[in-house]
Chains A and B, each alone.
Chain A
Amino acid sequence: MSSATLYSVSYFLVNYVLTHIGSVLPAPLNAWITNGDLVTGLAVLVFGAILLGASMINTIVLIWWERKLLGRFMDRRGAMHVGYAGLLQNFADGFKLFRKNTFRPREADWLGFFSGPTAYLVTSFVIFGILPISSGWNSGVLPLSLLLALAIFSFAPLFIFVSAWSSNNKYSLMGGMRSAAQMIAYEVPLLLAVVAVVIVSGSFDLTTIVYEQQNYWFWGPLFLALVVFVAGMLAEMERIPFDLPEAEAELVEGWNTEYGGMLFAFFMLADYLRALVGSILVVLLFLGGWTMPTWVPSAATSFPLAGIFWFMVKTYLVFGLFVWIRASLPRVRTDQLLRVGWNRMIPLSLCAVFLAAALVLAKCVWPFGCLPSMGV
C-alpha cells in the first residue's frame, strides 16, 4: 500500500479542489487561491475536521457498544428505542445535553471552570492526530509518536484538578485530589510497560512497533507488560474498578459534580475518547495493530480497508474487555489503589522490562518465533 497519510489525503483534496476553482478564475485570484500557504492551512483544517468527525462518531458508537454490552451482562437490553437497537440513543443524549443551559456555581472560578473541561477534551482529542489507524491511514509520520501520545495522555490530571478546584465544591475537590494521585501513581507502571514494548521493537514509532509484530503479536511474550498496561490504562481512564475520582456512592460524581449541560458532555466525551485511545494503544502495542496473523485466509485480510476493519474490530473487543471488567468488579478504595499501584504494579512492570530485555537477547523464543530485524 502507498504510504498515504491522512494529512496527505486532505492536502490532496484541498489542492485538487482549489486548483479546479482557480482554473476558472482570473490570474491574480488564481495565483492567490492556489498559494501554498492557503492550501496548507485549509488542508490542516480538513484534516482536523475528518479526525474530529471520525473520532467523535467512534466515541459515540463506543458508548453505545458499552451500554449494549453492559445491558447484556446485567440481564437487560440496554438502549433500545432511538434508532435500530438504540444506535442513535447517544446522539439524542448528546443533543439533549447540547440544548441544556450551561451554568456555573456563583462562587466558582469562571476561568478554570470553563477552561478545564475544554482543555481536557482538546488534549484527549489531539492524541488522535498521532495514532496510526492502518498502514495507509495514519495521520502523520512521527518517529516518536508513542512518546508524544503518552505525553499528551498524561496532561489529564492537571485539567481535572483545575476544573475540580475551580468548581468550589468539597466533593469535586476530593475527586480532583484522588484523580491526580491515582493518575500519577499509575503513570509510572504504564510507562514502564511501554518501555518493555519499546525494548523489543526498538522504536518509539507506533507504525514501526506494529510492523515489528509481523512474526508474533507482543501480547504473548510480553503478557506481564500487557497486564500492567491494561491495569494502568483502567486507572488512567478512571473506569471501574479504578473510578474512585468519580465514585458516585460517596463523592456524588467526583470532580464533575458541578458540571451540567455541554460541559458535562465534554467530560463524558473526553472520558470515552481516552477509553478509545487506551483500547487503540493496547491494540497497537500488543495486538498487532491492523495486521492479522498469516494463518488468516488472505481473503479476509486483502479486501479494501481490511486494515482499518480489523483494527476497529480489535479495538472494540479490547474495549469490550474493559466493559466486562466494569460489569463484574467492585470499586477499590483509594489507599488500596495507591498501595497496589506503588507496591505491586511498579515491581511487576520492572519484571516486564527485564523479560523484554531477555527476549531481545534470546532473539527467538518458542513457540512464538523470532524477532524481526531490530529496526535500528
Chain B
Amino acid sequence: MWINMGPQHPMTHGLWNLRVKIDGEVILDCDPEMGYLHRGIEKISEDRHYNEVVTLMDRTCYVAGFAWEHLYILASEDALHIVPPERAEYIRVMCEEFQRIGSHLMWYAAFVQDLGLMTPFLYGMRDRDIVLDLFQSYSGARMTYEYMRVGGVRNDMPPGFSAHARRALDWLSDRFVEYDRLCLGSEIFRKRCDGLGVLKASDCVATGVTGPMLRSAGMRRDVRRDRPYSVYPQLDFEVAVADGADVTGRYLVRMEEMRQSIRIIRQILDWLDHHPGPVLADRLPRWLGAPYAPVGKEDYVLKRNYPKGVGLSSIEEPHGEAQAYVVNEGSEHPYRVKFRSPVFANISAARHYLIGYRVADIPPIMGSVDVCVGEVDR
C-alpha cells in the first residue's frame, strides 16, 4: 500500500511529500517528492543586484538564513574580487555560529515533538527565542535578516551586545544539560532512537550525505576544519562525531555542535571586544548599492566593464556541506548562481535509511535528517 506522507503532514516540517510503500507497519519502499516550495531562487538571482540576492538567501533556508547569506557572500566576493575587512569576517562567523545554535534548537524542538515529547519542544523554542532576540538586536529582524553585504556587513554590533551575548551563551550552555537529561535519560527515548535510520559512513559518501548525518557515522569531515574558510583557521574548536550512525548519534552530534558553537562564539566575542574597526570595505563599486530596477532583454548584454570572475564557496551549514557557485560576467547581476543544498543530498538518500524500518520510525528518522524544504527546493 502506497501512502502519501505530505505535502500536508505533521511529519514533513515543511512542504514536501514522502511517498511510502508499506506492508502492515514495515516500510518496503519510499520516494520523496520535492518541489512544492520551488521559488526559482537561482533564476531570480540572475535578475538581481549582488546585494539583493542576500534577501533571497534568507528565504532559502528560513531557519538558517545567516549561514546561507554567508555562503553566498563568500562566493560572490570571490567572483567580484572584493576583500572584506577582518572585523566583518568575525561578525559573519559569529552570525553563522549563532545561526547554527538557532537551527539546531529548532531541529531539537521539532525532532522531540515527532517522538511525542511536547515539553522539550517548548523548551527548545523558548531557548531559540533568545538567539533570535540577539539577531534582532543587531540586524533588526528575527528570521530574514538581510544583514550581510558584499564587502562586509551592514552595521556593527550595538553597544553592550557582547555582555548580552555572553549572558545568553551562559544560559544556553546550562540548558543543554537539561535537554540531555530529558532525552538521553529517558529509557523510551533510547529505545525509540538507538539503531534507527542507520546509514553507514561508506553509504553516506556514496550518496553525498554530509553534515551531522555523516559525522554521526564516525566520519570526521567538517568543511570548517577540512577547508577552512573565513576566519575559522584562527578559531579553536572540535569537530563533533558519534559512532552510532543512527538517530541517537545525530542527536549527540548536534548537541555537541551547539556546545562547540558556544565555544567559538566566546572566542569571537573576545576578539570583537579588542579589535574595533570598519565592518564594510571602502572603495566598493558604486553599482553594488544601486537600487533594484526591472531590466529588459538587454540585461544579458554586458553593461559594465567590471573584471569577470567565478567564485566557489563551501561552508558547513547547520545541515551539512553547502556550496555556492557564482559566475560574474562583468554586469551588475550575477550571470549564474548555483547552490548545493545539504538537505537536498540528505533527502535523496532516503531509500537507504528508511527501508526496513516501521511507519512509526519515519518521523524520528526524517526528524534526525533535519529537513529544511526551503533550501531543498530553492
Contacts and interface: CB of A to CB of B under 8 A. Distances in A.
Interface of A: 70, 73-76, 170-171, 174, 240-241, 243-244, 247-252, 326-336
Contacts of A248: 10
Contacts of A331: 115-116, 188, 192, 360
B360 A329 contact: no
Contact of B118 (A170, A327, A332): A327
Q: Is the interface of A mostly helix, strand, loop or mixed?
A: helix
Given A241-B116, A331-B116, A249 B192 contact: no
Given A248-B10, A252-B9, A333 B360 contact: yes
Contacts of B114: 249
Contact of A329 (B3, B117, B362, B363): B117
B122 A336 contact: no
Contact of A334 (B25, B123, B191): B25
Given A330-B188, A334-B25, 18 more contacts: A74-B118, A74-B119, A74-B122, A75-B122, A170-B1, A174-B359, A240-B118, A243-B116, A250-B359, A328-B119, A329-B116, A329-B117, A329-B188, A331-B116, A331-B188, A332-B188, A334-B358, A335-B358
Contacts of A328: 119, 182, 186
5 contacts: A250-B11, A329-B117, A330-B186, A331-B116, A331-B188
- Which of A73, A76, A251, A333: most chain B CB closer than 10 A? A333
Given A74-B122, A250-B362, A250-B363, A330 B9 contact: no
A249 B11 CA distance: 5
B126 interface: yes
Given A75-B123, A250-B11, A334 B360 contact: yes
B116 A330 contact: yes
A249 B119 contact: no
Contacts of B123: 74-75
Interface of B: 1, 3, 5, 9-11, 25, 112-119, 122-123, 126, 182, 186, 188-189, 191-192, 358-363
A330 B117 contact: yes
Q: Is the interface of B mostly helix, strand, loop or mixed?
A: helix
A240 to B, nearest CB: 5
A176 to B, nearest CB: 13
Contacts of A334: 25, 358, 360
B116 A240 contact: yes
A246 B325 CA distance: 45
Contacts of B116: 240-241, 243, 247, 249, 329-331
A247 B118 CA distance: 12
A66 to B, nearest CB: 12
A243 B118 CA distance: 13
In order of increasing CB-CB distance, the 3 nearest A-B pairs are: A331-B116, A249-B363, A330-B115
Nearest to A74: B122
Contacts of A171: 3
A170 B363 contact: no
Contacts of A336: 191-192
A328 B5 CA distance: 27
Contacts of A332: 188, 191-192
Nearest to B113: A249
Contacts of A330: 112, 115-117, 186, 188-189, 192
Contacts of A335: 25, 358
A327 B186 contact: no
Given A171-B3, A252-B9, A241 B188 contact: yes
A241 B189 CA distance: 11
A334 B189 CA distance: 14
A244 B363 CA distance: 13
B119 A250 contact: no
Nearest to B196: A333
B29 to A, nearest CB: 16
B353 to A, nearest CB: 16
Contacts of B191: 332-333, 336
B261 to A, nearest CB: 23
Contacts of A250: 5, 10-11, 359-360, 362-363
A328 B123 CA distance: 12
B45 to A, nearest CB: 36
Contacts of A170: 1, 3
A86 B278 CA distance: 53
Contacts of B186: 328-330
A250 B116 CA distance: 10
Contact of B122 (A76, A243, A247, A333): A76
A249 B10 contact: yes
B10 to A, nearest CB: 5
A12 to B, nearest CB: 47
Contacts of A333: 191-192, 358, 360-361
A250 B22 CA distance: 13
Contacts of A252: 9-10
A333 B25 CA distance: 10
A73 B117 CA distance: 12
Nearest to A244: B360
A335 B358 CA distance: 9
Given A75-B126, A241-B116, A247 B3 contact: no
A315 B334 CA distance: 68
B296 to A, nearest CB: 48
Contacts of B119: 73-74, 327-328
A320 to B, nearest CB: 15
Contacts of B113: 249
A332 B358 CA distance: 12
A211 to B, nearest CB: 39
Contacts of B182: 328
